[in-house]
Amino acid sequence: MIEISLADAKELPAEIPLGFAALEGGTILGGAGIAPGLRREIAARADADGFRGKLDETASLCVPWEGVERRVLLAGAGPQSRFGGESLRRACGALAHAAKRRFEALAFDPADRVQEAAEGMMLAAYGFNEYKKAEPGRLKGAKLLVRRSSERRRAEKALERAKLSCEAVFLARDLGNRAPSDKPPRALAQFAKSLEGAGVSVEVLGPQEMSSLGMGALLGVSRGSAQPCAFVHLSYRGPGAKRKIGLLGKGITFDSGGLSLKPPAGMETMKRDMAGAAAVLAVFKVLPRLKPKIEVHGFCAFSYNMPGPDALKPGDVVRAMNGKTIEVLNTDAEGRLVLADALSYAVREKMDALIDVATLTGAAVTALGPKVGVAMGTDRALLRGLLEASRRAGEILCEFPLVADYKEWIQSSVADLCNMGRVRGEGGTVIGGLFLEEFAGGLPWVHLDIAGPSWSSSGGSLAAQGATGAIVRTLIEFLCP
């Protein structure tokens, strides 16, 4: 993570490049101290160089500034009609990418949006280097300019919030990028245990404890693996807490599809199938420092899904913790099985609301592409709160309906439910949600399917190729508005 700090604009050394975001059409954001003539000259020079202010576009130029030549960097923020916090994040991310091989330091005028500017630069600077040397880069830090002393305290709080948010995202990215054999279920449970302290308590259940609780769905998924599954319950109680929120994460640390084996190409990124659980762990890493005045519980179900000698077979029936039986028609629909037991466990803990996060369905990616997650649930207020939090965080969620008429598609002739829709190839994401609803115990509940945005195949201004840490910032915004 590059070091971000605040600086007084009047004391900025001349040798540090100065950055601004610019809208399409040439309008420069911030820069209250720039003389109108100089502002026009910067815009004209950038335009002559072909800079148009489009998202992810940058320009570098030297201009006369208070008697010296100063390097000015511009980053496109897109059209005025669509400008918002995420536009500024992307502009700052593009600026950090453009600067990292040329400059050791960078100053940026955040135009009163310190949190978004800092997040953009830090998210862009992330790299996963557990298995190789870090890529060389000169950029070590950035300064965000504060024009008035009266703004400094507010800017300090915004910068601290940005740092905590990015710290959480980076943990989720690190866990998602780690090789699958380096994160067996017990290892991630042990990592969760390391988060204990400072207001967080952690309980880890092994197969014996899960068996005594009747968690047959999770145990069934793990049968094909030589590595046992693990279940983690984290809890945090904020000062004056009156409400209990449960966050549940799917933690399939590698998904082969089981006996319903995926094709080889489909397995290449299946180390990311624990992105939901990674998001929950990431939130708990920073929760005690954010100090929300609520009680938050995390429930993570960790397992490999492998085709070993005792693997679940299509046609097998498992019994979830709430007593419902499930006919397993496809062993590659395992995420909903482990979440069935996680939800049942959370209901027993008497939560006021439940939010589960999972890379659940390829159908969500087919419908919405790689940058949009799905939200569906039973409580309008909870849904609205999460959708609003995602807007503030700059993460896109699209609400899907829980179509009651489709419930008959998950009825089994030999069990209470089946884990796949009987009308194949239709409504897969909604079917996944309807299945999970059966285990939410009638509580206010929302399901977030992040199969698309949890992974970036090509990278971008805010995320390198690989795990993105999707939905972490949304959950933080929701819990700590």
As a whole number of angstroms, the distance between CA 116 and CA 114 comes to 6
Q: Is the pLDDT of residue 78 over 90?
A: yes
Tens-place pLDDT, residues 361-387: 999 999 999 999 999 999 999 999 999
Q: Is the pLDDT of residue 465 over 90?
A: yes
Q: Is the pLDDT of residue 182 over 70?
A: yes
What is the rounded average pLDDT of the residues 330-352? 98
Q: Is the pLDDT of residue 65 over 90?
A: no
Q: Is the pLDDT of residue 131 over 80?
A: yes
What is the rounded average pLDDT of the residues 393-417? 97
Give pLDDT, residue 68: 81
Q: Which of 102, 186, 237, 262 is catalytic?
A: 262
CATH assignment of 3-145, among 3.40.220.10, 3.30.420.40, 3.90.550.10, 3.40.50.300: 3.40.220.10
What is the rounded average pLDDT of the residues 414-427? 92
pLDDT band for 33, please (50, 70, 90 cuts). Answer: low
Tens-place pLDDT, residues 198-210: 899 999 999 999 9
Give pLDDT, residue 355: 99
- Rounded to the nearest integer, the mean pLDDT of the chain is 95
Q: Is the pLDDT of residue 66 over 90?
A: no
What is the rounded average pLDDT of the residues 95-118? 92
Length of the chain: 481
Q: Is the pLDDT of residue 442 over 90?
A: yes
What is the rounded average pLDDT of the residues 139-150? 88
What is the rounded average pLDDT of the residues 95-120? 93
140 or 434, which is more confident: 434
Fold match, 3-145 / 169-479: no
What is the rounded average pLDDT of the residues 80-107? 93
Least confident of 8-12, 106-110, 315-319: 8-12
Tens-place pLDDT, residues 226-277: 999 999 999 999 988 999 999 999 999 999 999 999 999 999 999 999 999 9
Q: Is the pLDDT of residue 136 over 80?
A: no
Tens-place pLDDT, residues 350-363: 999 999 999 999 99
Give pLDDT, residue 145: 92
Which residue ranges make up each domain of the chain? 3-145, 169-479
Q: What is the CA radius of gyration of the chain?
A: 24
Give pLDDT, residue 2: 87
CATH assignment of 169-479, among 3.20.20.80, 3.30.360.10, 3.90.1150.10, 3.40.630.10: 3.40.630.10
Residue 419 has, within 13 A of its CA and on its CB side, a CA count of 32
42 or 454, which is more confident: 454
Torsion, CA 420, CA 425, CA 431, CA 435, rounded to 10: 10
Give pLDDT, residue 114: 96
What is the rounded average pLDDT of the residues 188-194? 98
Give yes or no: 336 in active site.
Answer: yes
Q: Which of 70, 163, 250, 336 is catalytic?
A: 336
Q: Is the pLDDT of residue 326 over 80?
A: yes
Give yes or no: 250 in active site.
Answer: no
Q: Is the pLDDT of residue 67 over 90?
A: no
